[in-house]
Amino acid sequence: MTLNFVLGKNQFDHHQKMMELFNEDFQKDPEGQFFFLVPNHIKFESEVNILKSFGNDDDELIATNNVQTFSFSRLAWYFLRDSGEYNLESLTQTKAAMLLKEIVQTHKKDLKIFSGMIDKPGFLDQMISQFNEFMNGQVQPEDIELVLNDNGQDVFADKIQELNLIYTAYLEQIQNYNTNDFQLNALADYLNTKIKTSHYHFYIEGFSSFTATELNLVKSLMINSGNLDVSLVLEKSNTNDPADFYYRADSTYQQLIDFAKQQQIASKEYFAQNPRISPDLAKLEDYWIQSSGVGNIKDSIFDDKRSVQVWRCTDKQTEISAVSSYIRQMVARQGYRYNDFLILARNLSEYSSFIESFMENNEVPYFIDLQKKMANHPFKRLVDLLFAVHNKGMQEDDVISLLRTELLIPDEFKDDLSAFRQALDLTENYALANGTTKKNWLGAAFKPDVQLDEKVDAEKIHEYQLMNVIKSFIKSIYQQLDKFLDQKLSSLESATALYAFLTKNHVFDVLLTWQKQATEEQNLTLANQPEQIVNLFNQILDEYVTVFGEKEFESDDFISILDAAFENATYSQIPSTLDAVSISEIGMIQPNNRKITFILGSTTANMPGATVSNNLVTDDERGFLNNNLTDGKYLKESDEVINNAEPYLHDISFTASSQRLIFTYPNLTEDNKKQELSSYVKRIKDHFNLEIEDKLLNPATDDLEDNHILQYIGSKASTLNYLIRISRSALDKNANLPDAWQYVRKQLLGRDKENSEFALSSLNYQNKPVDLTPETVNALYGKNINVSISQLETFYKNEYEYFLRYGLRLYPRQLFEITPAQTGSVFHAVLDSLVKYLNKHNQRLADFNDQEITALISDLFEEQASLPENKIFKSSARMLYISNKLQSTLVQLVKNMRQQYQRNGFNPKRSEVTFGRINNQQDLPGLSYELPGNHKINVRGKIDRIDEMLLPEQALAYLTIIDYKSSGKDFNFPQFLNGITMQMPTYIQSLNDNLELFKVDDSDVKVGGALYEHISNPFIPLSKKQVPLAEQILAQFKLQGILLNDEDLLDNFDTEARTSKNVRSSRSPVVSFGKDNVISDDDLFKILNYNRRLIKNAGEKIYSGKLNLNPYRYKKVTYLQYSDFRPIFEFDAMLPENEYHDIINYNKKDVLEKIGEILEEDNA
């Protein structure tokens, strides 16, 4: 029995020294058994390296059947594989959680401190982790009880006592299961009782510390073997200071040496002396140890500045791009292999969203040495959604998301996945637009609100057929689920039914298909996932049935168990090639056979790291237990010790490779905040006078050094990316592309012409619409254009949006919600019904009282809300509340309409008057204008209301157009000049053209104006002015627009707005009489002629095919604020080709003068 240590700095070749000791042992005992023990995740590479070491021995060929490379758990398998103890059922995290849940529920009444945490997500996993720490620390319930009894009523006693209660019951439940600590303890017992031979030799590498269970096994190895050799990165020993550089390794050394002395086992120290790394990296380690408080700092300089480099990259993506390009060049130009490179990061999750795509884009093979969780697999999502669909009322998002997993597909679409996706998209659109509920999913077939014609609407009918295939499938799924989820079945029966459901609906068959496809595409990572997922699911079901078999099935508990199991489960990964870049995290032991290490994210946020535990047992409580436990029993290190070990941890990372160390860090975060270089790296940089090398996202056009240009040369795709960036920069600066980059461009075009030309064409791209050909124009618009005036206003607001909306007929996805358009439709319909009611019953609104108005509007609103197209207003309690608010708004409006009519001589004559054909209805002829090319533009529209005032004395009737608006609006002359406000002039023109139809007896008829009526239920602020409340409310509904400067009209518009001298007052709560509202007959003539010009001009532009992206901007408002098509526009005012159509805020007088000038030019 001998204990040998191989010590020394990490710069020396510990493994070589271990192999020397091994060779000596082998020469002495060639028939012996030799075991190399390493951390589990480097076992494979360590075995390969040991085999290589055999091959380097020129003296003789060594047979390796008696030389093994194992992890501790694999060593247990080796010795115990035929024993009954080892072949016990393994305790998985899932089963542990199930057993613990039962225990906690049983002892719930005894728990005080933990009683409120039992049902919180993650609590059981946290408790299992804590119990694993106890077990790995060799801490039994009686040990905890002894500590508590010996220390009286310590401040921690209650919490630990309660935890120990559960721990005791937990150990009783798992005593017949195989756990990691059970395996190692069983192996230690086996070695102590059945094996004691000098022909067993053990060599431990890659550890700096052991758990108590591991240490117990190591002690057994020591006393039951010929020799135990342990390699530690340790230069000196015998320190008790937790802040010491070597504290963790030295503690391990002291534990082993003390035990050897107790057992009177001889021990010997060997120091690795052969350099493993370059002299420069050795200097780096020497300085690092010295600067961490071990010895005096000595001056030193690097022989080769390339040995240690610091790269400042624009951002994290630039980091990965620069690193992958560098690796590719080193392999191509300097004979390196990909497995010579190691990429480390403190937290790889910061790079997880793009690191794989960047490596693949640069065609660099890689292996990420981190386990990927199974929680995000579509199968797991499917099972969650099956229960959600059944238990949560078939919510639209759950139903659609269930089918989006593409693991459940109707038979009709089995062989046509694209058709299935189309049908599902249509179904989702329908569900969103109609607020589809459980009743709808399970009810009659989906159908449109209007009758469809078999010939005209054939495409629409087909879409409904596709949607109903999906609907029927969803209904079938629900009915199958309901048979076992809505019944009081046992856990065994429900689990069996769930598995049968998945089998019957071919879910496992689809997974198998995915596996085959991935195999054919040589994607081994994806190919292995389906089988692992199904195996895990089967294991969970088996364990669930074992624990809960005959107990009543609880779906919420089952899902929480499933969630925890998949969250803790990871895929077994297989490298697709042995020659691959290794990507891992700082803190994970790495094989020492790499040549160049990159450390990503070398910022103050990541280096050094700060560990803050979130365990049930705090650091103080852990310290209390550790200080009172007997020898050989201890819990894990405190956060303080772990954080103090950061310099040691980084020393291992700095010297992991033999030739170079490259630190990289992003200059900017994702939100453009500046990052600071790590204090660790800054120390190294300052001591060795290193220069920071900038790696830019965009290469500089004035950087002509070959080695600087070479850093951007990688795969064709990667290089093309940088070529485009520098070409864009050169164009922006009006500079020539450097000769070296022109050479690169020529090479790319020669080797990959099609892709290169396509990508380089982006340099000439401008965000401008391409004009339409005459054929396309005719196909979109036909011979004549039939438009509403609001459509023409859209044209002048942004010509390109008109093309998208009315040419291509694009529209945003409809949602089941009350929109301003829908609210407006209901308002208009109710007010239309009101006017028709008054005319039908020959009644005047001015004669109604408040109660009559409220009752009448209530009836009319109810009538509209009951229509199929307005079903949303009664779809929920919230919608009913909104409906009541809308109804109140209408009541308030009509009450104020009554007051307006009481103060003037007007009465509503007609409502919803159409000019031009709309929905097979036409009250007045439309407006029609000839266009060049034998085209016509036909304008149609609907006038909300026409009020009439009869003046018998003058034998005259005035007609006033009323347009309802949900927001306050006035006629805006600058906007009219630019075609944005054409509605009122068009309405006036329509009435002027048809005045004969409105004559009463022999009276003349005249259009008096066009006014906006504001639909609102206003809040009236408190005011010190002595104005009656009724008049204040009335003023909130003041009519605004344009009125003819006609004394008879104006005098009778508000008969109560008089001065003390009985002269018409310029202030009225009924209507605006301001100078911008009153126009002369000549002004109206100009306005109507100009409006006609705007209509014809729009028609001519539309037929020209010219497309302009020209959203208007008026004051601080742009039309883009209201557009649904911004993602299509990609409008950027910073681009020279993207400009707003600015509307100058002229006054009324200037607008009319400009209109006059334009009309004169037209007639010239």
The string of pLDDT tens digits covering residues 869-885 is 888 888 888 889 999 99
Please report whether residue 476 resides in a domain: yes
606 burial via Cβ count (<10 Å: 0-12, 13-18, 19+): buried
- Pair 210, 340 in one domain: no
pLDDT exceeds cutoff 70 at 910: yes
pTM of structure: 0.80
pLDDT at 59: 45
Mean pLDDT in residue range 660-686: 92
Mean pLDDT in residue range 1131-1147: 92
Planar angle of CA 640, 641, 647, nearest 5 degrees: 105
The C-alpha atoms of residue 596 and residue 658 are separated, in whole angstroms, by 7
Calculate the average pLDDT of the chain.
89
pLDDT class for 58, splitting at 50, 70, 90? very low
- Pair 12, 68 in one domain: yes
- Pair 683, 561 in one domain: no
Please report whether residue 124 resides in a domain: yes
* 3-state SS string for 621-632: HHHHHHHHCCCC
pLDDT exceeds cutoff 60 at 62: no
* Tokens coding 297: 């700092």
Give which of 395, 534, 1149, 304 is closest to 816, Cα–Cα.
Answer: 395
Mean pLDDT in residue range 1136-1162: 93
Pick from 225-234, 450-459, 506-515, 872-881: least confident: 450-459
Beta bridge partners of 1014: 965
Please report whether residue 971 resides in a domain: no
The C-alpha atoms of residue 375 and residue 559 are separated, in whole angstroms, by 12
CATH number (domain holding residue 584): 3.40.50.300
Mean pLDDT in residue range 1028-1037: 70
- Pair 444, 543 in one domain: yes
With residue 665 as reference, give the H or E element that holds it: strand 657-666
Please report whether residue 612 resides in a domain: yes
pLDDT at 671: 82
Mean pLDDT in residue range 1113-1138: 91
- Pair 239, 166 in one domain: no
- Pair 265, 152 in one domain: no
Condensed to tens digits (0 to 9), the pLDDT of residues 545-588 reads 988 888 889 888 888 888 888 888 888 777 777 889 999 999 88
Could you give the maximum distance between any two Cα atoms of the chain, in Å?
136
- Pair 404, 490 in one domain: yes
pLDDT at 1052: 85
CA dist list (Å): 461 to 46, 464, 466, 805: 66, 5, 9, 23
pLDDT exceeds cutoff 90 at 704: no
The residues, any chain, with a CB within 8 Å of residue 20's CB and separated by 6 or more, are: none
The residues, any chain, with a CB within 8 Å of residue 880's CB and separated by 6 or more, are: 873, 874
pLDDT class for 152, splitting at 50, 70, 90? low
Helical ranges in 993-1080 per DSSP H? 1029-1036, 1047-1051
Examine residue 608 and say whether the peptide bond preceding it is cis (omega within 30 degrees of 0): yes
Edge to edge, the sheet with strand 1141-1143 lists 1117-1118, 1112-1114, 1141-1143
Please report whether residue 691 resides in a domain: yes
Residue 368 DSSP SS3: strand
Mean pLDDT in residue range 123-148: 90
The C-alpha atoms of residue 26 and residue 44 are separated, in whole angstroms, by 22
Last residue of a domain, one of 147, 174, 201: 174
- Pair 421, 506 in one domain: yes
pLDDT at 706: 61
pLDDT exceeds cutoff 90 at 151: no
- Pair 618, 747 in one domain: no
Last residue of a domain, one of 742, 764, 786: 764
Please report whether residue 496 resides in a domain: yes
pLDDT class for 158, splitting at 50, 70, 90? confident
111 burial via Cβ count (<10 Å: 0-12, 13-18, 19+): middle
- Pair 536, 581 in one domain: no
pLDDT exceeds cutoff 80 at 701: no
Domain, as residue range, for 343:
308-371+576-630+648-695
Between 967 and 168, the more confident residue is 168
pLDDT exceeds cutoff 60 at 455: yes
Per the structure, how many domains does the chain have? 5
Residue 749 DSSP SS3: helix
pLDDT exceeds cutoff 80 at 708: no
- Pair 67, 194 in one domain: yes
Mean pLDDT in residue range 295-324: 91
Give which of 680, 731, 738, 749 is closest to 705, Cα–Cα.
Answer: 738
pLDDT class for 54, splitting at 50, 70, 90? low
The percentage of residues in the chain with a pLDDT greater than 70, rounded to a whole number, is 95
- Pair 386, 450 in one domain: yes
Type of residue numbered 950:
L
Please report whether residue 406 resides in a domain: yes
Please report whether residue 1044 resides in a domain: no
pLDDT class for 113, splitting at 50, 70, 90? confident
Mean pLDDT in residue range 107-118: 81
Between 906 and 370, the more confident residue is 906
pLDDT exceeds cutoff 50 at 771: yes
The C-alpha atoms of residue 351 and residue 798 are separated, in whole angstroms, by 41
pLDDT at 296: 83
pLDDT at 1027: 60
pLDDT at 714: 87
Last residue of a domain, one of 695, 714, 731: 695
Pick from 45-59, 632-646, 986-1000, 1079-1093: least confident: 45-59
